């Protein structure tokens, strides 16, 4: 069953209707799953009809921000952490920092995937923006306390 988009769907963002012949949704989204199972399955994720698809340019720019931003953030956190700890043995504290990042790398993809499947892209972006805002507020309020270790002279 190899159908084109015009044969399968019509544009309707207000409601999700099904045709009587194939039980295919009548709403259309560029990421909508048609016959191969890829994309956005409307039967499991009804928000697909209401949320517009991400443009390729948005996806590329977002990927480049993440591709460059995450390694820089990890490096800066490690440097700031080591400067605040000073010349003392840092093994335990660095291990706790590494354990925290490992837990985040496990839990964040699960959380974001669940949000995306249940409420869509807008909820996922809102959640990520909220998390980043909270982190920036915490950093801004504790910035004055982040002083590098100084040797007593």
Which is nearest to 47 in space by CA: 24, 22, 27? 27
128, two tokens: 């990520």
Which is nearest to 115 in space by CA: 64, 49, 58, 47? 47
84 vs 88: CA distance, rounded Å = 10
pLDDT digits (tens, 9 = 90+) for 71-93: 898 888 888 888 888 788 888 88
Mean pLDDT of 146-152: 72
pTM of the model: 0.59
Alpha helices in the chain (DSSP H): 5-8, 56-85, 91-119, 121-142
Same domain, 81 and 124: yes
Q: Does residue 89 fall inside a structural domain? A: yes
Q: Does residue 48 fall inside a structural domain? A: yes
Which range marks the domain in which residue 116 is found? 56-145
Mean pLDDT of 32-43: 64
Same domain, 136 and 66: yes
Token look-up 């400067």 returns 83
Same domain, 76 and 136: yes
b/e burial code for range 6-43 (CB count within 10 A of at least 16 → b): eebbeeeeeebeeeeeeebbbbbbeebbbeeeeebebe
Check residues 107 and 148 and name the one with the higher pLDDT. Answer: 107
**Does the pLDDT value for residue 20 go beyond 50?**
no
pLDDT digits (tens, 9 = 90+) for 3-18: 444 444 433 333 444 4
**Does the pLDDT value for residue 64 go beyond 90?**
yes
Which is nearest to 127 in space by CA: 139, 117, 142, 140? 117
């Amino acid at each position: 069953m190899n159908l084109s988009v015009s044969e399968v769907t019509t544009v309707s963002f207000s409601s999700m209707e099904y045709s009587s012949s194939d039980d295919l949704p009548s709403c259309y989204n560029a990421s909508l799953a048609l016959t191969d199972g890829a994309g956005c399955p409307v039967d499991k994720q009804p928000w697909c009809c209401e949320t517009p698809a991400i443009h390729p340019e948005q996806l590329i720019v977002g990927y480049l921000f993440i591709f460059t931003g995450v390694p820089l953030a990890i490096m800066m956190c490690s440097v700031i952490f080591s400067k605040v700890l000073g010349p003392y043995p840092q093994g335990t504290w660095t291990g706790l920092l590494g354990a925290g990042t490992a837990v985040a790398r496990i839990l964040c993809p699960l959380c974001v995937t669940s949000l995306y499947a249940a409420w869509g892209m807008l909820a996922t972006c809102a959640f990520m923006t909220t998390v980043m805002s909270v982190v920036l507020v915490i950093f801004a309020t504790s910035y004055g306390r982040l002083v590098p270790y100084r040797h007593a002279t």
